[in-house]
Chains A and B, each alone.
Chain A
Amino acid sequence: MRRRKAAAVRRLTVAAVRHRKGAAARRRTVAAALLGMVSLAACGIQKSDVVEAGGAATVAVYPAPEFRMVLYFLGPDGRPVPVVRDIGQPVPDTTSPWDETGTDPKHRESQGLGSGQVNQERGTRVVTDKVLAALVAGPAGADKAAGLTTGLPGWKKPPIAEAVEEAGPTPQGRRIVRLRSPYPVMELSDAAVQQLVCTTAYAEDGGGMVEVTLTSVDGTLPATRCES
């Protein structure tokens, strides 16, 4: 009898404690709700994270594509930065089997050296070589003033570009161009390789749809595309 009474008392106590706990929890819920409401109404303009909004601005760069060459040097952060130089006279765009717009000679003429259709004759890349020579020569005065540098060592002669026909276009429709360098290339930094690859890619093709392999006496680097 007494045991039963004790059990009942215990049950009551437990219930009371639970009730008290419940009340505390309810109070906490109410407090949280009030807090939420207050924070919801935090007044004024709050600072925010960086939010993406819209695309980039597409500016025009002069000289126009047919009068320019695009060289890639390195910015202060070590990433390739394009530099556009005047080449004097327009370079006629010769036929390219990958140029979908290339049926109209007049139109092709409008494509300049910078537009990439620089091969005067299949297999010879005189203009590309010229562009590569400018790249190897390093940043000019204005480029240096803007804080641009080059990752390439002081080569005397530029590498020679040649199309790799036997492989055909890559699944993405890119041509492959091989750069033959008279100097070792395995020691080049990634940034320097990107400089060569990007400069070559945009010299060869206006859209940069080119993959470039770099080869020399000390070895061959795999085909790379311009990542800038």
Chain B
Amino acid sequence: MKACVSPEPGTEPGTEPAGADASGPAPRRRRRARGPRLHPFGLRTRLVLAFLLVAAVGCGTTAALTYRAARNAILEQTQDTAVSAFRDQVDPLVISLPVDTRQLRDSLLVIARQGKPRPWRVYAEYGTVRVSSTDRPTSSVITPELRARAQARPATPHGSFQRVVKNGKPYLTMAVPAVFRTHATKGTAQPTGLVFYAVMELDEEDANIEAMVSAARDGALPALAVALIPALIASRGVLRPVRELRRAAHSMGRGRLDTRIHAKGSDELADLARTFNESAAELERSVAELRDAEARARRFASDVSHELRTPLAGMLAVTEVLDEDAGSLDSDTARAVRLISAETGKLAVLVEDLMEISRFDARAAELHPDEVDAADCVRKTLQHRHWTDPAQVVPYLEEGIRARLDPRRFDVVVANLVGNALRHGAAPVTVRLYAEGDELVTEVADRGPGIHPDVLPHVFDRFYKADQARTRSAGSGLGLAITLENVRLHGGTVRAANHPSGGAVFTVRMPL
């Protein structure tokens, strides 16, 4: 195990305004975890539903129209056949007036057997006489309307029919009034007052029509199933570019600005893809420019600090000599010399801090981890800074924690936090060190007034001054920013908070 090196006391750099809680790249990871999702009412569902609806309406309308036409044709044919057949069979009858019921019944029985297209029941009515081919004198299926129409005496009597549904069974009822010629050649036929009725069941037609309905239904369902295929193809055609676009946008969001979509075809989606590609190219260019500008700015800061370091080193050597000789100078000159010496020292610290932060910005900072005893490290840091007075700094260190740390950087972290606490807070400063789970926790608490809530999110910012009126502070203004960068380099987090009983608490968590 290596002993902890105690390098220069922490500089005071600041970093990005990570709020009070400076954590790693957690949100990005969360976004990446999101995979393709299923949308219950997404484009695909809607497209398929629309296709099915169109197909259903098409099938339904066609089926309904066909069905109606076929039904009407079936019924019309049956009706026409039946009515004309009935009239043709009544025509040759020879009757007496008033009717001879027995003879008429015989005729009706003959007609009843010759029903067309199917047997029927035949009835005749004359005055109060009711004759039928069945054992019942009249039929309850014959409606009063049909009777009234048959018994009316228009200029030219005519036959009529009516479809009746009784107890769910369809019937065709026909009425043919009988007329007779009063003269072999002259005049018009005169009503005899005798009306013939026929009642035919339409069960066969009903069955045919039912068969048509079921055929239409059985035909429509496969048609709908077939409609699914173009629906799925069409939805795929729309969804594939959309999915590609989503993937590309996602990839861009993850920082891969060179993402492009393969845009083919000439439809709106291809246009969209082209626009996306153009926007992506533009964005990539802008971002590259910005990065260049930022890199130039960083390089400039780094160069400036480098250039300042050499003359400063010389100046420091000179001021040391001047400091030693200050006692022999007159008091005014001695004060001026000491002031120059002090400010030069601060300037040197500032330049060192600037260079350190430049290294972080340039990602040139390297971690040299080593297996060390954490408590030992902290103790050494405190000793090197001469923070051994228990009234000033009180360490509570858990012994024997072995951690993989860069001892130099850990020293900077602890020194910066304790120095910051002593400078801005109030003694005594408590330093706690303990392991929690697989994390090493370093906690630095002071007894000062704490940090104002408005300041809390910015404490890790570079050159952030808690008190705007105080333009000059003892530190460089970069100490906490450098602390944050060092902790991040270790893969840990640092958090600033106020203790409920007063005082600020900085908690550093680093993996063991």
Do A and B interact? Answer: yes
Give the B-binding residues of A (Cβ under 8 A). 37, 40-41, 43-62, 65, 70, 75-77, 79, 81-84, 101, 110-111, 114-116, 142-143, 145-148, 202, 205-209, 227-228
Give the A-binding residues of B (Cβ under 8 A). 57, 60-61, 63-65, 67-68, 71, 75, 79-80, 83-84, 87, 90-99, 126-129, 143, 145-146, 149, 151, 153, 156-165, 170, 174, 176-194, 196, 202, 205-206, 209-210, 213
A147 B210 Cβ-Cβ under 8 A: no
A146 B65 Cβ-Cβ under 8 A: no
- Closest Cβ of chain A to B24, distance in Å, is 49
B192 A82 Cβ-Cβ under 8 A: yes
User: What are 8 A-B interface contacts by the 8 Å CB criterion?
Assistant: A37-B61, A55-B158, A61-B95, A65-B184, A70-B182, A207-B186, A207-B188, A208-B190
Given contact pairs A45-B170, A58-B189, A209-B187, A53 touches B161 in the complex (Cβ within 8 A)? yes
Contact of B160 among A47, A53, A116, A146 (CB under 8 A): A53
B98 A77 Cβ-Cβ under 8 A: no
Query: How many Cβ-Cβ contacts under 8 Å join chain A to chain B?
Result: 205
Q: Which 4 A-B pairs have the closest CB atoms?
A: A207-B187, A206-B183, A147-B128, A207-B186
A206 to B209, CA, bound (A): 50
What DSSP secondary structure best describes chain A's contact surface?
loop
Given contact pairs A50-B146, A52-B158, A146-B129, A62 touches B185 in the complex (Cβ within 8 A)? no
Contacts of B98 in A (CB 8 A): 83, 142-143, 145-146, 148
B177 A45 Cβ-Cβ under 8 A: no
B68 A41 Cβ-Cβ under 8 A: yes
A58 B91 Cβ-Cβ under 8 A: yes
Interface centre among B65, B127, B161 (most CB of A within 10 A): B127
Contact of A146 among B128, B180, B191 (CB under 8 A): B128
A59 to B160, CA, bound (A): 17
- Determine the residue in chain A with the shortest Cβ distance to B148: A50
9 new A-B pairs (CB below 8 Å) besides A61-B95, A146-B129? A41-B60, A45-B209, A59-B94, A61-B94, A65-B182, A76-B128, A83-B98, A206-B182, A227-B153
B180 A228 Cβ-Cβ under 8 A: no
Contacts of A56 in B (CB 8 A): 87, 156-159, 176-179, 189, 191
Contacts of A79 in B (CB 8 A): 153, 193
A57 B97 Cβ-Cβ under 8 A: no
A81 to B180, CA, bound (A): 12
A114 to B182, CA, bound (A): 8
Contact of B193 among A43, A81, A101 (CB under 8 A): A81
B97 A45 Cβ-Cβ under 8 A: no
Interface centre among B98, B194, B196 (most CB of A within 10 A): B98
- Determine the residue in chain A with the shortest Cβ distance to B80: A53
